[in-house]
Amino acid sequence: MMLQVNHLFKSYQTGKVTYPVLKDVCFEVNKGEFVGIMGASGSGKTTMLNCISCFLPFDKGEIRLKGTQLSQLNEGQIAKVRNEQLGFVFQDFMLLDGLTVFENVCVPKVIKNEPYKPMEKKARELLKMFGIEHIADKFPAEISGGQKQRVAVARSLMNDPLLILADEPTGNLDSRSSEAVIQAFIEAKEQLGATTLMVTHDTFSASYCDRVIMMKDGSVHSELVNHGDRKAFLEDLLNVLRELNGGDDHDVA
Ligand SMILES: Nc1ncnc2c1ncn2[C@@H]1O[C@H](COP(=O)(O)OP(=O)(O)OP(=O)(O)O)[C@@H](O)[C@H]1O
């Protein structure tokens, strides 16, 4: 088991008012799985991802990454988990404008002070895997959104993380670029055995997942499994989103 979220509770405090956001969330992610998280706006998806990222403390429950309970780590250990065991992909790419594509991909290893040769080899392999080796020397301003996000996926894999956390990775992309980014996650899974947890509103992107966890009002409403027929899975997802009323079922492709 790569990730276990057990009976997670989280509330926000605004003045004297406590606002519960996560209410007894339980789910698991296996090694090599590509898992989506969907649910209406405000159902707590980003909050949950931020708890798993160790960016937010939670009230109760536990989060285990390959067996290690995250809330028991100290600051130094958390920093190490974030850089070496988790990979991050954000909606707005978060590339460094002053660095080339190649240099951006190298950042997680530069932070670790690793030697250049193996770092270069790894970066070139990842760029090749995602079909972006020809833009290695370009700057972020010179490439498309879909290319930027594939660079971000390559960067997230530099340290062979246990888990990639992706928050709306296709949120700023058109459907063709979205598909290229989703293919990058699938390549990472098939060629490197990568494990990905992706929050998305995009049903089309989610239909490529092995499994989708549907959140409702701070709890897991249901889990849907992709049995291999993507179109049938897309229909399943749309049906549950309709049932959850207010679900985002407008992104169908
Ligand atoms: N820092 C904060 N302080 C107080 N309330 C917050 C804070 N962050 C989020 N919330 C509230 O918690 C709830 C869950 O927010 P969250 O962003 O986790 O939902 P979400 O499912 O990711 O939504 P979306 O799909 O719109 O991104 C919302 O009602 C939000 O207003």
- Location of structure tokens 């990730």: 3
Instruction: Measure the CA–CA gap between 219 and 192, rounded to whole angstroms.
Output: 31
- What pTM, to 2 d.p., does this model score? 0.94
Mutate to test the pocket of ligand 1, among 10, 17, 19 (most ligand atoms within 8 A of CB): 19
Query: pLDDT class for 40, splitting at 50, 70, 90?
Result: confident
Is the CB of 21 inside a 6 Å radius of any atom of ligand 1?
A: yes
Gap from CA of 44 to ligand 1 centroid (Å): 6
Q: Residues 223, 211: contact at Cβ < 8 Å?
A: yes
Is the CB of 156 inside a 6 Å radius of any atom of ligand 1?
A: no
Gap from CA of 46 to ligand 1 centroid (Å): 7
Q: What is the ipTM for the molecules in this complex?
A: 0.95
Residues 224-243: b if buried by 16+ CB within 10 A, e if exposed: bebeeeeeebbebbbebbee
Ordered structural domains, the chain, with CATH? 29-58+74-243 (3.40.50.300)
Q: Please give the backbone phi and psi of residue 113, each rounded to the nearest 5 degrees, phi first.
A: 65, 40
Give the pLDDT confidence score for residue 244 in this predicted structure.
87
Query: pLDDT class for 163, splitting at 50, 70, 90?
Result: very high
Query: pLDDT class for 245, splitting at 50, 70, 90?
Result: low
Is the CB of 50 inside a 6 Å radius of any atom of ligand 1?
A: no
Neighbours of 32 (CB within 10 A): 15
- The full length of the chain comes to 253
